[in-house]
Structure 1
């Protein structure tokens, strides 16, 4: 499910951490979240629940700070060749994985090869490094990564937990074994995964290579982390209020105000970078092959009203193709999706949808203006309610919006077969190169698991492809800014998505937990500096 320069750091992290001056060594922190990973190896597939866990037991080749600047981590330094095709990494010589394997250049090669291998079925990490050609081992602590084409976003994606570095010894095991008990060099190690219950992580006593963004060096303060799965939002929040858990993730919006009023609780709320939550239009078939119909649907959806109703005003509206926390984000395209029923009616008339049937839906050549949104089983109830409200307001404009609910397997098959009009999704990543992943014609073809294609709009424009590729050919930040501005402008004008709200990390923290932070690249939980007083 994963930057440089001028990241809107303050906007992205309303509250960066919960501080206390006297860290305590030892103790167990109980963390509760709503979704269980399908695999603990974040190279496989690649969804947000995986990276939240992976951030605790994996280290990355490079780090990213809150301003989007790339810094050292497992790599002490690096050079990029003038043509952008070779990255030479100089590695630390004092790192060991928790299975005893030494971190050397062969680990860099094994990990990048693993992500790029089609058998890994890596739709996220593998999708990020399609430019990868090979890794050349110069000596034990020097690795040269060769790319097929220039990739200015390479260091940015390497900072994400999705591309965290695992033990090459562990990677040599079967895919299922590595999913069950992956091995990293991070501050914690995976001990046991009890399906549908919890993951147990224990401290790595040898850890002494934290990134410069960390608040201390040496082993983690916590002895143990119990990572629980509590799907029901009200139960999760009640467990926090009772002190049965120390931290909950995905704090329910309806509980935000109660949490703010409770002196025993604190909140961390931060927007994640990337492409915000949205309904993407399949423009490979009617009616959304017509840009006028796409804009009409957007203009007839009262998203702001729905957000206030469903999420109690806690989720801001997203209007553009990039979330505000993304590098080179421009606010100029936020208002292009404003609710405007009169504009919607005018566009539908122009597109030939001028008649209405007995139920009030628009028709053209005897065919009703009907669009189907695919709803998978993992779609949260609140998201379903949001789209029910979109359904009500778009109906006034003459759209029949059908919400087709099904199993996740069926939804994946429908997506792979392009059998949908609207697909609900998002893409969290710390680089504006997300625009290439979700809109470039290179990503229309299936990649990764189950025939999944990242470009779910089916948008194919040679001019856009050339533009977005040119952003990868320069390391100059101002040139990249200008290119990404033009890219945002182009896709916003095409109305390829109905943007709803930015993805966010929302933590509720009980008074027993301290030092809980969010790592800067994807705004996911980071427990290395955390400790408990209980």
Structure 2
């Protein structure tokens, strides 16, 4: 009986919020849209409002990849069709056994410190990543990378321990931006944190922590990716990359003209901005969706049937549709998002709301009594679930509202969900990250393919811990499926294996999907040429220009 009431409560809350925001914006009016043949203005500064500030301007978090993409070039770029095309590397070959990738670099490219982008520098970056310079690059290469060597000035050979057909594709992600070897070897970690040196279209001029990063045009830029929309240096002179945590404030900045472009549009604002003729971009991030994984090492979710009971308690699609206003896509698959090659619809459809089945499973497990608040008990113990989430970092305001709805719906069948917003300082300190600190965990991992499954589900051992395995679930069978898929060169066979892995995750109720992570942009129509790069959906300002 409580599930329909939950949906009505959610709808009423959303409607009230929509009315308040509509009233606050009623004086904004529509933006002036320049004509299609409006002339390009040379130079100018793009004021861009982003939602989160990273700890360093290069690293393994997607927020770092978004900004570093502006000043670090990758070896390859990803097209809208998912094809890897040349960037710093103009060509590559693969050995017959699939274990050596030989890359030919563009000639004459320099980092902005004047040193060459050569094979030695590229090989150094690979070793730097796996030695701890970038934790996310390291886990993507882990289990596959052996060494990199400079064959000559413009030829680098990457040696792998086993075949990895999607290796080149994975290098299109922003975590693999190439930095100056001289800078990494001679400067302090703090200097490289605050002003990484690459060969990109922009250069980091200054970082005013808590406020903004100022990027200035690299007038000597020569290494644009093949899928860029123009050649030569960037059109604009500067990008003022501001940090504005509140979504409504970002939208207000766009409407007032204080910002030319903003990131992470609140779902409730989408239709309004669209109707006011702002240019909107939406990218459904491939990889792991915003999902919830169960801690399988302790009660109550060491019991597979209790994991299933929790999922059956939820009308997930209704939650996401209500709070997401049709902008945020519902995602049932706990393994990978619907934008990911190799996606299994069967895994996505494995569970639907079934209150009777949830109650049956809970009764069968002995949780037959209820306390005065309606929570189930067993031998005097409450069926309590600790659910911390990374508020303001991994999870935005829309996501937090979705989790609150999960908490409310789970109560109907007797789960007491302790929802704990974890501030950024505790997130970076690793609070609530160990197996003794939570019962369910939410989060995503961006990826360009289903190979992310190996990162999220590789068994964790004492000698080789896997901190990305948030379920703490070790399955040789699941690992075998994923490894076989990662090394399978036939795409259909590869996707079939990835599908089996997703279905294993669903069958054993290890993780369940809620919604797909979005990368969204709102742009003033007087700023043109802004697009989302296709590996992770971050903004690209190299091709952007103003018109009048």
Same fold flag (TM > 0.5)? yes
Assess if the C-alpha contact under 8 Å between 2:148 and 2:157 holds in 1.
yes
For the residues of structure 2 that align with 1:270 and 1:485, how far apart are their CA atoms?
Answer: 23
Q: In 2, distance between residues paired with 1:350 and 1:153?
A: 45
Mark the runs of 5 or more structure 2 residues left unpaired by the alignment: 1-33
Residue 491 of structure 1 corresponds to which residue in structure 2?
505
2:41 to 12, 24, 37: 24
**2-side partners of 1:483 and 1:371: how far apart?**
33
Contact 2:435 2:472 in 1 (8 A): no
Secondary structure of 2:535's counterpart equals coil
Q: Matched residue of 1:279: which SS?
A: strand
| Partner Cα separation in structure 2 for residue 373 and residue 20 of structure 1 | 50
Name the structure 1 match of 2:19.
none
Query: Which one of the candidate residues 441, 447, 456 is aligned to 2:459?
Result: 441
Task: Give 1:216's aligned residue.
Answer: 230
Match of 1:125 among 137, 140, 147: 137
Deviation at 1:409, TM superposition (A): 4.8
The 3 A distance-change label for structure 1 pair 444 and 152 is farther
1:30 Cα deviation from its structure 2 partner: 0.8
CA contact (8 A) 2:283 2:537 kept: yes
Q: Which of 400, 419, 422 lines up with 1:384 in the alignment? A: 400
Using the TM superposition, give the Cα deviation of residue 474 of structure 1 relative to its aligned residue in structure 2, in angstroms. 2.5
Written as runs of structure 1 = structure 2, the 5 A alignment for 1:189-228 is 189-228=203-242
Secondary structure of 1:169's match? helix
Q: Kindly tell me: are residues 48 and 174 of structure 1, through their superposed partners in 2, closer, same or farther at Cα, counting changes over 3 Å?
A: same
- Give secondary structure in 1 for the equivalent of 2:314: coil
Cα 1:444/1:438, change in 2 over 3 Å: farther
How far residue 410 of structure 1 moved from its aligned partner, in angstroms, is 4.0
2:148 alignment partner, one of 107, 132, 135: 135
- 1:181-196 equivalent positions in 2, closer than 5 A: 181-196=195-210
**CA 444–196 in structure 1, closer or farther in 2 if over 3 Å, else same:** farther
Supply the distance in 2 between the matched residues of 1:275 and 1:23 (Cα, whole angstroms).
39
Once residues 19 and 94 of structure 1 are traced to their aligned partners in structure 2, the CA distance between those partners, rounded to angstroms, is 39
- Alpha carbons 2:109, 2:117 under 8 Å: kept: yes
Structure 2 counterpart SS, 1:532: strand
Q: Paired residue for 1:306, among 319, 323, 326?
A: 319
Q: TM-score, normalised by structure 2?
A: 0.88
1:380 Cα deviation (Å)?
A: 3.3
Cα deviations across residues 189-240 of structure 1 (Å, max 9, x unaligned)? 1111110111111111121221121111111111111101111111111110
Give the corresponding residue for 2:409: 393
How much does 1:350 deviate?
Answer: 2.9
Find the aligned partners of 1:408 and 1:443 in 2 and give their Cα distance: 28
Q: Does 1:169 pair with 2:187?
A: no
Distance 1:443 1:208, change over 3 A: farther
SS in 1 for 2:170: helix
Encode CA deviations 1:320-351: one digit per residue, 9 max, x unaligned: 12111111213232222322212211222233
Contact 1:20–1:514 under 8 Å retained in 2: no
Task: Determine whether 1:428 maps to 2:446.
Answer: yes
Instruction: Output the CA distance in 2 between the equivalents of 1:167 and 1:336.
Output: 48
Shift of 1:364: 2.8
Change (3 A) 1:19 1:54: farther
| Alpha-carbon separation, structure 2, partners of 1:154 and 1:174 | 31
Any conservation in 2 of the 1:132–1:146 contact (CA below 8 Å)? yes
For the 8 Å contact 2:460–2:472, the answer to whether it is kept is: no
Which residue of 2 is the match for residue 155 of structure 1?
A: 168
Match of 1:55 among 61, 66, 69: 69
Q: Displacement, 1:32?
A: 0.5
The one of 356, 380, 383 aligned to 1:366: 380
Contact 1:282 1:288 in 2 (8 A): yes
Paired residues of 1:443 and 1:454 also in contact (CA < 8 A): no
Deviation at 1:424, TM superposition (A): 1.6
Q: How far apart are residue 367 of structure 1 and its match?
A: 2.2
Deviation by residue 1:255-311 (Cα, 9 ceiling, x = unmatched): 112101113x12111201111112211111111111111111111122223223333
Moved more, 152-161 or 103-112: 152-161
Out of 29, 34, 47, the position equivalent to 2:51 is 34
Counterpart position of 2:294:
281
2:443 & 2:472 partners in 1: Cα distance?
A: 15
Residues 59 and 185, structure 1, Cα contact 8 Å, conserved in 2: yes
- The 8 Å contact of residues 295 and 472 in structure 2, kept in 1 or not, is answered as yes
- SS of 1:213 mapped into structure 2: coil
Deviation at 1:354, TM superposition (A): 2.6
After superposition, give the CA deviation of every residue in 1:156-185 in whole Å (9 maximum; x if it has no partner): 221111111111111112221111000111
Structure 1 counterpart SS, 2:146: strand
Q: How much is the aligned-residue C-alpha RMSD, in angstroms?
A: 2.0
Match of residue 101, structure 1, among 115, 135, 140: 115
**Number of corresponding residues:** 507
Query: Are the equivalent residues in 1 in contact too, given 2:219–2:233 (CA < 8 A)?
Result: yes
Please say if residues 514 and 531 of structure 1, whose CA atoms lie closer than 8 Å, have aligned partners that are also in contact. yes
**Is 1:178 matched with 2:192?**
yes
CA distance in 2, matches of 1:514, 1:25: 12
Q: TM-score, normalised by structure 1?
A: 0.91
Distance in 2 (CA, whole Å) between partners of 1:310 and 1:491 is 26
Identify the range of structure 1 (248-257 vs 492-501) with the bigger mean alpha-carbon deviation.
Answer: 492-501
- What is the CA-CA distance between 1:528 and the residue it aligns to? 1.1
Q: Give unpaired runs (5+ residues) of structure 1.
A: 1-17
Confirm or deny: 8 A CA contact 2:369 2:377 kept in the other structure: yes
- Secondary structure (helix, strand or coil) at the match of 1:124 reads helix
| Equivalent of residue 257 in structure 1, options 252, 263, 271 | 271
Aligned to 1:13: none
C-alpha distance in 2 between matches for 1:19 and 1:388: 45
**Would the aligned equivalents of 1:68 and 1:327 in 2 still touch at CA under 8 Å?**
no
Moved more, 359-368 or 514-523: 359-368
